[in-house]
Amino acid sequence: MEKWFSKAIITWYQENKRDLPWRHEKDAYKIWLSEIILQQTQVAQGLSYYLKFVNKYPSIKHLAKAPEDEVLKLWQGLGYYSRARNLHASAKMILNTYAGVFPQKHSEIKNLKGVGTYTAAAIASFAYDLPHAVVDGNVYRVLSRVFGIKTPIDSSAAKSKFQDLADQLLDKKNPAIHNQAIMEFGSQFCKPNNPDCNACILNSRCFAFKTKIVSELPIKTKKAKIRKRYFNYLVLADKNKDVLIRKRQAGDIWQGLYEFKLQESEMETSQEQLFESAEFKSIVTSKFGLKYVSKQYKHILSHQHLFAKFYVISVSKKFTKSNKPKLDTNQFTPINLKQLKAFAFPRLTGKFLEDCDLKEIL
């Protein structure tokens, strides 16, 4: 079906594609790594992380054998940390189940943790030239506009409808280059806003261009509810310049990353309200001195807007340190300021630590 489509986008791709390191690869491990990094990340940001991971973990075995804390630290700043945890868990599974050799069947690839329909198709086609069509946001946009599909892309009917069309359009003799081409075309040319339709190679056949509804497609109906959360971080330090941190557990954002004492509120809280609250008094039980109050940091996630302030507080009571701090538990553990850089914090906390010299303040 529609051989003109595949021929046109492949021709465009060969003349306009970006030179990206994973496009020179047939190593399924490196292709998988690039796809996981790019799931929620733009190429411009993800490229440096891809190179860091390939350098640090040149094989699945290296990644599988690494401590989770080390993997999360290397991932720090990319966000959506479940990707890193799933990547690590899958590497262990591949090592144990497939002797460290990346699976070659589409069904086995799809069973890896963190790998969905799109990612499995991408890896299968790019690494093994298997005829599986990719459908991501870029593909939705191209197909919706060119073929005039008005089914909302966030509806239950859209997934099978777009996948069926993508499967029919796929050049089964050249699935890798076809898939790369349609995604690159959507990303770099058939953009969400103000695409240069007059110069488009598909405009003579594009339904949206001919009917002047390019800006209306693809259609999306649901609007995500945005939750606002206010984080008041208490950076508690004793006379030894030890601060309390803990590893965040499952059930919320940033699982496996580290944090200071946190007092969350439903709305913005003044310093006075914070210090007078029963929760604060239950946390800070000895004499204390306020050393520093940060600016408010804003961090935007897909369904949450986070607003955070950091209160650097010195306490008169010395923290008790064990010889082997159990940082894999939900308990707060004293860590010297010099050691903080070794731990993976959420990007929001990372910005605070970059802006604020705790050694000088304390």
Residues noted as catalytic: 35
| DSSP 8-state assignment for residue 102 | P
| Residue 187 near residue 17, CB atoms below 8 Å | no
Sign, Cα dihedral of 107, 112, 114, 120: negative
How many Å apart are CA 343 and CA 136, to the nearest integer?
A: 34
Output the CA angle 254-256-257, nearest 5 degrees. Answer: 60
DSSP letter for each residue of 221-288: ---PPPEEEEEEEEEEE-TT-EEEEEE--SSSTTTT-EE-EEEEESS---HHHHHHSHHHHHH--S-E
Given the DSSP bridges, would you call strands 258-259 and 261-265 parallel, antiparallel or unpaired? Answer: unpaired
| DSSP 8-state assignment for residue 126 | H
Q: Cis (ω within 30 of 0) for the bond into 218?
A: yes
Residue 153, exposed/middle/buried by CB under 10 A (0-12, 13-18, 19+)? buried
